[in-house]
């Protein structure tokens, strides 16, 4: 069912976490990416994961998150981890209504994950409306796609290369649904 929602919104065909986990075929980048539509799109629409729904989303509560994740996302009160990648993929919710954060941590696959997520978002019809092109700075891209209930905004932030030898957070995706009138007003002022 979640896969159908993804197809309807983005036109992408990517294995859902449950399919990929069962088949044992999904890589870290695919699992990280799939958390965006499977978890964050629902969170953006007012249905964040809870302790009761976590298992059906292939999540588990994360009472502990890496210290750098905790420091960089100190306003996020509720954390989950992806069961298939419990040390690498963390999902944070609750810092503001509808906000969802998927954080990559404890991996040296920073570049591969960032590259695949950006490519899949573009292939799914998301447009890049902002990209930081300053040499030597972190990657900062803002993607947008029109949805039936507004505009889905996805911010991809990641270092250009692995930091701290892969320990701690290595990048994140932030998802928010913005009402159409608000987004269109913001764009018209540019």
**Given the DSSP bridges, would you call strands 169-178 and 150-158 parallel, antiparallel or unpaired?**
antiparallel
β 78-82/89-93 pair status? antiparallel
What pLDDT score does 159 carry? Answer: 84
Kindly list the domain boundaries of the chain, sorted by start residue.
Answer: 2-188
Q: What is the pLDDT of residue 24?
A: 45
- SS3 at position 135: coil
Separation between Cα atoms, residue 105 and residue 180, nearest integer Å? 33
Q: Mean pLDDT score of the chain, rounded to an integer?
A: 85
CA distances from 187 to 63, 145, 180, 182 (A): 39, 13, 11, 9
| More confident site: 3 or 129 | 129
| 3-state DSSP assignment of residue 166 | helix
pLDDT band for position 12 (50/70/90)? very low
Residue 151 pLDDT class (50, 70, 90 cuts): very high
For residue range 24-72, what is the model confidence (pLDDT) as tens digits? Answer: 457 999 999 999 999 999 999 999 999 999 999 999 999 999 999 999 9
- pLDDT confidence of 166, banded at 50, 70, 90? confident
- Return d(Cα 157, Cα 139) in angstroms, integer: 5
Q: Which residue has the tokens 């990280």?
A: 32
By CB neighbour count within 10 A (0-12 exposed, 13-18 middle, 19+ buried), where does 85 fall? Answer: buried
Q: What is the pLDDT of residue 22?
A: 40
State yes or no: pLDDT of 18 exceeds 60: no
């Amino acid at each position: 069912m979640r896969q159908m929602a993804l197809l309807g919104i983005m036109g992408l065909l990517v294995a859902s976490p449950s399919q990929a986990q069962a088949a044992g075929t999904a890589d870290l980048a695919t699992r990280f990416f799939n958390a965006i539509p499977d978890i964050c799109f629902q969170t953006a629409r007012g249905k964040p994961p809870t302790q009761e729904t976590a298992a059906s989303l292939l999540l588990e509560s994360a009472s502990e998150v890496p210290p750098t994740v905790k420091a960089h996302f100190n306003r996020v009160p509720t954390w989950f981890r992806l069961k298939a990648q419990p040390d690498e993929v963390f999902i944070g919710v609750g810092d503001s209504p509808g906000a969802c954060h998927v954080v990559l941590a404890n991996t040296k696959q920073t570049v591969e994950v960032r590259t695949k997520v950006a490519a899949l978002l573009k292939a799914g019809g998301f447009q890049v409306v902002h990209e930081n092109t300053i040499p030597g700075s972190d990657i900062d891209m803002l993607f947008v796609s029109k949805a039936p209930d507004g505009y889905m905004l996805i911010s991809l932030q990641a270092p250009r290369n692995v930091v701290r030898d892969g320990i701690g957070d290595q990048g994140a995706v932030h998802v928010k649904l913005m009402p159409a009138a608000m987004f269109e007003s913001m764009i018209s002022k540019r």
